Each structure stands twice: as structure tokens, then as C-alpha cells.
């Protein structure tokens, strides 16, 4: 069974990764799966789609069907709320990484 902490963190990392790309341009599930694999995430449709659906519910993303060569594909775009949350999450992430690497400003 997969390590629980790793699983919790992975859900968060994948969410931020999705927001990052959705901020650049609308993305679809198949592309995200390939992208996540390239970054070493062991993600399947069974892990990705529940995350995407949760993010739609939380209004971090919106979705629109687009016809690509006769095939309907769902493209996900970032919302204003998503941009705000991504920015906030990144500031926490950078702060944490700095502290772990000993570059925190606690004992300046
Ligand atoms: Zn990426």
C-alpha cells in the first residue's frame, strides 16, 4: 500500500501542478497525465479525475468541451480564485523550502 503521507502530499502537488499549467493555457486530462508522468508522478486517470472534479467544485478551475477533430475534449482553465490560491500556496511552499534548506529569515 502506498505511503499515506506521500499520497496526501501528492494530491496537493498534483493540484498545484494543474493550476500552474492551467494558468498558462487550458489543459485536458490526457495531456496532464503525460505531463505528470514526465515529472515522475505515478498518476492514473483514477487519481487525476477525482482531483480535477474536486478543483471544479472548489471553483479553482472551469471546464469547457472543445471539439478536436470530431472528438469532444474537456479543457480545464484556471479561475480568478485558482490564481489567488496558486499564488498563496507558492508563497507557503517557497517559505517552507527556504526554511528546510536553512535559508529562512528567523535568525538573521
Ligand atoms: Zn509540468
What CATH number does residue 93 fall under?
Answer: 1.10.10.10
With a CB cutoff of 8 Å and minimum separation 6, the contacts of 11 are: 47, 51
- When divided into structural domains, the chain yields a total of 1
Does any domain span residue 106?
no
| Residue 107 lies inside a defined structural domain of this protein | no
15 vs 54: CA distance, rounded Å: 10
- Average confidence (pLDDT) over 43-59: 95
The CA 39 to ligand 1 mean position distance, Å, reads: 7
Binned at pLDDT 50, 70 and 90, residue 54 comes out as very high
CA-based end-to-end distance of the chain? 43
Give the distance (Å) from ligand 1 centre to CA of residue 107: 34
Q: Which residues surround ligand 1, an ion (CB under 5 A)?
A: 35
Residue 64 has a pLDDT of 97
Mean pLDDT, the chain, as a whole number? 92
Rounded to an integer, what distance in angstroms lies between the CA atom of residue 105 and that of residue 73? 46
pLDDT value at 72 more than 70: yes
Q: 63 lies in a domain? A: yes
Conformational region of residue 64, where left means phi above 0, alpha means psi within -120 to 50, and beta covers everything else: beta
Structural domain boundaries, residue 93 = 4-100
Amino acid at each position: 500500500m502506498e505511503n499515506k503521507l506521500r499520497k496526501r502530499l501528492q494530491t496537493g502537488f498534483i493540484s498545484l501542478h494543474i493550476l500552474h499549467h492551467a494558468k498558462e493555457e487550458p489543459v485536458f486530462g490526457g495531456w496532464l497525465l503525460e505531463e505528470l508522468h514526465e515529472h515522475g508522478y505515478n498518476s492514473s486517470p483514477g487519481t487525476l479525475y477525482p482531483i480535477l472534479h474536486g478543483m471544479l467544485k472548489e471553483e479553482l478551475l472551469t471546464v469547457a468541451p472543445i471539439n478536436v477533430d470530431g472528438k469532444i475534449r474537456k479543457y480545464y482553465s484556471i479561475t480568478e480564485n485558482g490564481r489567488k490560491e496558486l499564488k498563496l500556496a507558492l508563497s507557503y511552499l517557497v517559505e517552507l523550502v527556504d526554511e528546510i534548506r536553512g535559508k529562512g529569515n528567523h535568525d538573521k
